[in-house]
Structure 1
Amino acid sequence: MVSGLAEQLLRGYQLEVASISINRIILAVDGSAPAVEATKYAVALARCHGAKITAVFVDSDGEEAVVPEDQWEFLAKKSKRIRYGLAGLELVQRYGKAYCLDVKQLLLRGNPVKQIVDTAEKEEADLIVVGDTGLTGIKRIALGSVAEAVVEASEIPVLVVKGR
């Protein structure tokens, strides 16, 4: 019976070898437990596919901007949220060094969803990886508000990783 349904679904399609190419991963971090779990998935996928990772922390305070790295420490002294975000970026960097991965770090300002999706487009990413809830969002039953909005706004696949 199920095979009949499968036949209907596949009618007119040739079965091909299932394969995907992941060359660039955008990883959204904020220092939360779900973001740490998302980091592990992004690193594992990057290792399997030989992909590059662009790790992004978005500070929702302020107008849309890329924050130069020489300002990160100054901002961290003023904001606990930024300290957590920078810790998330540092974790990705450490994984990158441990596994010889190409990791780029960005501290951005503005709307987190817009910045994550725009960065994926600019970097020509193949995948976005996010944790299901973060430090700044109100927890929802299924997904964090940022993760849910990224899934809706993105034109590329999004992997949402549940925290432990």
Structure 2
Amino acid sequence: MGFRKLLVAVDNFSASFGAFKKAVEIAREHKVPLTVINVEEALPLLPAEKMLEAPPDHFVTDDPLTVAETYAKKHGVKVKTVKKTGAIAGNIIETANEEDADLIILGDSGIKGVEKLYLGSIAQSVVENSERPVLIVRKGWMNIEDIISLAKSLEKGEKKEEIPCKYDPALVRENFKSMGTLFFILCVIYFFAAIITSKPFKNIAALEIVGLPFGIWSGIFLVISGIILTRIYINKQIGGKTQ
């Protein structure tokens, strides 16, 4: 009995893409669809932990699902991509059940000893908790130079032409004028609130309006005015850029 559906997990690093390449080979050989899952951790690893799990020289791509989909289609394999967030092993097992996969294929980073004891192993966790068969592809077993080349070409293709920034004196003067006007208005409101709450005007500041002293109301008005003026400035900037 052959396979009907496969599931492979990918991340940004080479170990997972070794497993992915093996998954593509099996899917093409058996003429079955392939589901590719990428799980983003709810609580990402610290930089030091990432260095242990996957050193920088093993980095492949920032967009593993796009690379995987492009590569699989290029080799005639029907592919479905799934993006999830949360516990990696749990989401892999859950997706395998949802997709009714006959085989889960995972890459092993190859960490051993204290590092593995500290970081744990996603592959090991899936093997121990999944009722479905799991194939582990050791790091370095598959040559993924073609996938790395594809990832680089896709990255270059996504880069947009940069528009050079031009200095426009008229625009600078207009921005300075509008910013200065709003800042002046805010200063006037601020000094009004400061004067009202000063000692010579303490009787005025103590006058109650709707249950609150006038001094408190002047402070509230200052805060609201600051928010409104800031919003006006931001809207003006956005409006200017879209014209």
Q: Which band: TM-score by shorter chain? A: 0.5 to 0.7
Aligned to 1:61: 42
Q: Secondary structure at the match of 1:120?
A: helix
Q: Deviations over 1:66-106 (max 9, x none)?
A: xxxxxxxxxxxxxxxxx977522122212222122111111
Aligned to 2:7: 26
Asked if residue 36 in structure 1 is aligned to residue 17 in structure 2, the reply is yes
* 71, 83, 94: which one aligns with 1:107: 83
Asked if residue 98 in structure 1 is aligned to residue 41 in structure 2, the reply is no
Distance in 2 of aligned mates of 1:32 and 1:42: 16
What are the equivalent positions in structure 2 for 1:1-164 lying under 5 Å apart? 20-61=1-42, 87-133=63-109, 139-140=115-116, 145-164=121-140
| Runs of 5+ consecutive residues of structure 2 not aligned to the other structure | 44-58, 141-243
User: Which contiguous aligned blocks of 4+ residues in structure 1 show a shift greater than 6 angstroms?
Assistant: none
Contact 1:128/1:159 (<8 A) preserved: yes
Contact 1:52/1:103 (<8 A) preserved: yes
Which one-letter code corresponds to 1:31 in the other structure?
N
Contact 1:52/1:102 (<8 A) preserved: yes
Q: Deviations over 1:134-163 (max 9, x none)?
A: 9xxx9538xx61000001111111011111
Structure with more contact order per residue of length (Cα contacts < 8 Å, sep ≥ 6): 1
Which one-letter code corresponds to 1:152 in the other structure?
E
Q: Percent identity?
A: 34
In terms of fraction of residues, the more helix-rich structure is 2
Q: Secondary structure at the match of 1:140?
A: helix
TM-score (norm 1): 0.66
Question: In angstroms, what is the RMSD of aligned CA positions?
Answer: 2.5
Per-residue deviation, 1:21? 1.6
| Runs of 5+ consecutive residues of structure 1 not aligned to the other structure | 1-19, 63-82
TM-score (norm 2): 0.46
Q: How many residues align?
A: 121
Per-residue deviation, 1:112? 0.7
Q: Secondary structure at the match of 2:83?
A: strand
Alignment CA distance shift 1:139-1:37 (3 Å): farther
Which one-letter code corresponds to 1:98 in the other structure?
K
Q: Secondary structure at the match of 1:54?
A: strand
